[in-house]
Amino acid sequence: MARQITLIPGDGIGPEVAEATVRAVEATGVDVEWERVEAGAKALEDLGQLLPDDVFASLECTRVGLKGPTATPIGGGHPSINVALRKKLGLYVNFRPVRMLPGLKTRFSDLALDLAIFRENTEDLYSGIEHEVIPDVVESLKIITKTASMKIARAAFEYARREGRRKVTAIHKANIMKMSDGLFLKCCRTVAGEYGEIEYTELIVDNACMQLVMRPETFDVLVLPNLYGDIVSDLAAGLVGGLGIVPGANIGDRHAIFEAVHGTAPDIAGMGMANPTALMQSAALMLAHIREREAAEKLQGAVERVYAEGRHLTRDVGGAAGTREFTEAVIAAMSR
C-alpha cells in the first residue's frame, strides 16, 4: 500500500524544486502517493487564503509533508507560513544536519564538517506576541517554557545517543537574559545529566558564532532556542555551500514536515536554474523518518555521487547545469 505524503510546492522556485524532488523520490522505488495542496502566494490567488484549511486536513491524514519555500514579507504583510505550521502542528524540533558534500569547494572543504543543529521551533521571540506600548515604542515578548526547552534538549541528546555523536553544546545568552535563557540552560543541564556518556558544553551565542567561523570542526550537536537556532543554522549552512545545500526537518509528536530552508528566489523562478539539492536531501530525511531507510540512503547516496563527480552541478555551486539536468543525473546515479 502506497504511503501518502502531503506535498506543498510553495512559491517562486518552489514548484520546480518540488517537482524535481518528487521525481527523485519516486526513482528510489518507494511506493508513495502525493497529496498536493497549495500554501502561499498561489493559494492566496486561487483560494483567498495563504494557508488554507485543506493543508491541515491533508497533514492530519498523512502526518508527514514535503514543502518547498514560501515567501514571507519583511516589515509587514502576512505572517510566516512556516511559523504558523510549526505552531499549529506542534513541530517543536527543527533539525538541520549540516554536512560537507563531496567535491564541493568552500573555504572549509578540508574539514569534512558534520554538524547537527536542534532548534526549538515553537516559542521564543517567534511566538509573535508584540504590541505598541505607546507611539513609536514597540514591545516584543520572548517566551521560554520548561516544557518546550526540555523537549528540544531531550531530542538533541536522544539523537546524539542514537547516532553515536560525542558532544552536545547548548547555545544561550543567559548572562544577559538570566530568566528566559537561564531556564533554557537549566533544562539542558537537567537532560544532560541523564546522558553521562555524552560530553555536554555551553557557549554564549555571540561567542558560538565566532567559534563556528574560526573552528567549526570543534562542534558536533548544537541545541538552541528558536531565534538563535534560526541564525546559527543559516551561519552553519554558509560553511558548507549555502542554503541551497542543507536540508531541514520540522518534527513533532504526531506530525513532521520536511523542507528546504532557502528562499523562493523569484528572480530565477521558471527559468530552470534552481538547485533542488536542499529539498532532495530533506526528502532523504523524510524517507528515513517514515522508515524507508533503504530508499533514503539510495537518494542521499545519489546526490553525493553527483556532487563528487561534479559534471552536472547547478550554477550556484559552480556548475552550469539546470534543474532538469541535475535531477536526471541524480536519478541516473541511483541505477549505478
What residues act catalytically? 126, 173, 206, 230
137-170 b/e (C-beta count within 10 Å ≥ 16 → b): eeeeebbbbeebbbbbbbbbbebbeeeebeebbb
CB contact at 8 A, 239 and 108:
yes
Q: Give the three-state DSSP class for 332.
A: helix
Kindly report the number of other CB atoms within 10 A of residue 133's CB atom.
Answer: 9
Kindly report the number of other CB atoms within 10 A of residue 335's CB atom.
Answer: 8
Rg of the chain taking only CA atoms, in angstroms: 20
- Grid look-up 540552560 returns 185
Q: Rounded to whole angstroms, how far apart are CA atoms 25 and 48?
A: 31
Q: Give the three-state DSSP class for 267.
A: coil
- Comparing C-alpha atoms, which of 11, 9, 53 is closest to residue 35? 9
- Comparing C-alpha atoms, which of 223, 159, 162, 160 is closest to residue 188? 223
Q: Using the 8-state DSSP alphabet, how is residue 132 labeled?
A: E
